Chain A
Amino acid sequence: MQTEVFLAGFGGQGVMFAGQVLSYAAMDIGKEVTWIPSYGPEMRGGTANCTVVIADEEIGSPLVQDPPAVIVMNLPSLDKYEPTVKPGGVLIVNSSMVDRDVTRSDITWVSIPCNEIAEEAGDKRMANIVATGALLALLPVLTLEDVESALKAHMPGRHKHLLPKNVEALKRGAEYAKKNARKAK
């Protein structure tokens, strides 16, 4: 079994970190995992993206052409990566930064105001975690508990006090996605 998640957004939206959270959670439950970023000039202020491959066996390609799960945190990323989602796959759209709906009908998607939900959960910088919660509600590759444990185990000490808020953001994201997802036709 192998699942790939692609995450994209502006630098500073926590896209890389969200991918790493998924990677740590996958590692902790004994999976093979590869996290690969886009790197270089685009990391410094432009768009950022990363791919996470989670598998039960040795991982081959770190990149995939048509990922079954995509998180986009802004409009340019939606425009660019909506067409790449594998038919039947999942697309999470951060509607706080996007003013249009998804046009494809062959994928399951949710338009979720990650920034606002994050702010309600206690810190607007957790939009990435809200999106991660939404993804896991629609793509059960990991459980919310797996991610919670990973956050607990790997968050740097100085950020440990943010753990309860992050767990809250994760749960709110998942709840919103469950209620508002549009299933693939």
Chain B
Amino acid sequence: MAREMWKGNEAIAEAAVRAGVEAYFGYPITPQNEVLEYLSHRMPELGRAFVQAESEPAAINMVYGAACTGARVMTSSSSPGISLMQEGLSYIAGTEVPMVLVNVMRGGPGLGNIAPSQGDYNQICKGGGHGDYHPIVLAPASIQEAVDLMPVAFELAHKYLNICTILIDGSIGQMMEPVTLPEMQPVIRKEYDWAVSGAKGRKRHLLSSIYLDVPTEEKVNLRILGRWREARENEIRFKEYYLDDAEYIIIGFGTAGRIALSAVRAARAQGIKVGLFRPISVNPFPYKRVEELCKQAQSFLVVEMNTGQMLKDVQVAVRNRVPVRFYGRLGGVMPFPDEFVTEIQEMIKNPGKPEDDPADLWYQRMIAR
């Protein structure tokens, strides 16, 4: 397949189409509108379902209904819209049906702005809706990576009967890059033994997230947890750059991760032995790999476009073995690589102690600026 220039949001939409998405329900919100707009003509053209819903709660509940049929189904939104969807997401998790969610994050909290941000990490990775559940979350850093992960997202959602979220920010949604799109997959309509389709020649299927019998609800929670534990074992994804001889390691996901790549190259040009570890599956988080990297790294620099949400996961893995430094930009500010280079230089000059609180020290530096 030839490389073609695609806008991030549209490429994701087309990749979903090629991955066999049968139904899409969405609501306009910047900076993800192009997903909705693109699918508004592409889906009907292929005889597939598309509805512009009256609200995000309606959209996610349309997804919930379609997910109960076993079809490949998705929605997309941006931060405030994702908040509105949390009720439905919890029901979907509790009913154990598969769906793909795309969150094109923007600056917040509240109405915030439409600039790129990574402020939804906790909401997306740690649940967001009520109750105990663990969505699978993939955080691509380029359009090609996002496109490659779309079929994976649908497969994981079905494999683990779970929500699989593609977590990007407005910059990836809005930028253009050359991509090679996946081949068109045929839509496969399977009759799953859990899905509703009309009880023809079989016992009827009931899909619900209500278990008034408390011990049963506990069993359901354990079943959901069991699938999650399996995903945690099997679905770790990350990418490493210049780590062979690295003495210092930057950790960043998505856009912060790719900005860090530029910073690593610039620092290497100055002779600094620094590498980049970029988690792609941010839930499950690659704890084990980060733990291994503690043997090699003199210290870590965690970079994010938030106040240090993934930092907590890195700290769980590092467990005070080596110092961790944090640098974040907030509210829609996209950092420049030079800022990370300065942080690397400062980290080498003043590595700090493993027991330091990186988020606190970063906050002190930020307010002193």
A, B assembled together: yes
Please report A residues at the B interface, Cβ cutoff 8 Å: 20, 23-24, 27, 32-37, 39-40, 58-65, 154
> Could you jot down 28 A-B contacts, CB within 8 Å?
A20-B5, A23-B5, A27-B178, A33-B177, A33-B178, A34-B176, A35-B175, A35-B177, A36-B176, A39-B31, A39-B170, A39-B174, A40-B114, A40-B115, A59-B258, A60-B259, A60-B260, A60-B261, A60-B262, A60-B264, A60-B265, A60-B337, A61-B258, A61-B261, A61-B337, A63-B334, A64-B336, A154-B5
Q: How far is the CA of A111 from the CA of B111 in the complex (A)?
A: 42
Give min CB distance, A38 to chain B, whole Å. 9
Select A62's contact among B30, B175, B178, B260, beta carbons within 8 Å: B175
Which chain B residues numbered 176 to 224 have a C-beta less than 8 Å away from chain A? 176-178
CB <8 Å contact, B114 and A39: yes
Residues in B whose Cβ lies below 8 Å from that of A39: 30-31, 114, 170, 174
Of residues A20, A32, A40, A61, which shows the largest number of chain B Cβ atoms within 10 Å of its Cβ?
A61
Q: How far is the CA of A32 from the CA of B177 in the complex (A)?
A: 8
Please report B residues at the A interface, Cβ cutoff 8 Å: 3, 5, 30-31, 113-115, 142, 170-171, 174-178, 255, 258-265, 334, 336-338
CB <8 Å contact, B336 and A61: yes
Q: How far is the CA of A33 from the CA of B3 in the complex (A)?
A: 11
Residues in A whose Cβ lies below 8 Å from that of B336: 61, 63-65
CB <8 Å contact, A24 and B5: yes
Give min CB distance, B5 to chain A, whole Å. 6
A58-B261 CB under 8 A given contacts A35-B175, A39-B174, A64-B336: yes
Give min CB distance, A57 to chain B, whole Å. 9
Q: How far is the CA of A59 from the CA of B171 in the complex (A)?
A: 14
Select B171's contact among A24, A60, A62, beta carbons within 8 Å: A62
Q: How far is the CA of A37 from the CA of B173 in the complex (A)?
A: 11
Residue in A closest to B241 when the chains form the complex, CB atoms:
A58
Give min CB distance, B250 to chain A, whole Å. 11
Residues in B whose Cβ lies below 8 Å from that of A62: 171, 175, 255, 258
CB <8 Å contact, B176 and A20: yes
7 closest A-B pairs by CB: A60-B262, A60-B261, A61-B262, A36-B175, A35-B176, A27-B178, A61-B259
Q: How far is the CA of A61 from the CA of B177 in the complex (A)?
A: 13
Q: How far is the CA of A21 from the CA of B4 in the complex (A)?
A: 13
Q: How far is the CA of A27 from the CA of B30 in the complex (A)?
A: 28
Q: How far is the CA of A63 from the CA of B261 in the complex (A)?
A: 12
Residues in B whose Cβ lies below 8 Å from that of A32: 177-178
Q: How far is the CA of A37 from the CA of B175 in the complex (A)?
A: 7
Residue in A closest to B257 when the chains form the complex, CB atoms:
A60
Residue in A closest to B175 when the chains form the complex, CB atoms:
A36
Give min CB distance, A53 to chain B, whole Å. 9
Residues in A whose Cβ lies below 8 Å from that of B258: 59-62
Residues in A whose Cβ lies below 8 Å from that of B263: 60-61
Residues in B whose Cβ lies below 8 Å from that of A61: 258-259, 261-263, 336-337
Residue in A closest to B259 when the chains form the complex, CB atoms:
A61
Q: How far is the CA of A104 from the CA of B255 in the complex (A)?
A: 33
Residues in B whose Cβ lies below 8 Å from that of A24: 5
Residue in A closest to B334 when the chains form the complex, CB atoms:
A63
Give min CB distance, A31 to chain B, whole Å. 9
Residue in B closest to A57 when the chains form the complex, CB atoms:
B265
Residues in B whose Cβ lies below 8 Å from that of A34: 175-177
Given contacts A60-B261, A60-B264, A61-B263, 10 further A-B contacts (CB under 8 A): A33-B178, A39-B174, A40-B113, A40-B114, A58-B142, A58-B261, A60-B262, A60-B337, A61-B258, A62-B171
Residue in A closest to B258 when the chains form the complex, CB atoms:
A60
Select B30's contact among A40, A59, A64, A65, beta carbons within 8 Å: A40
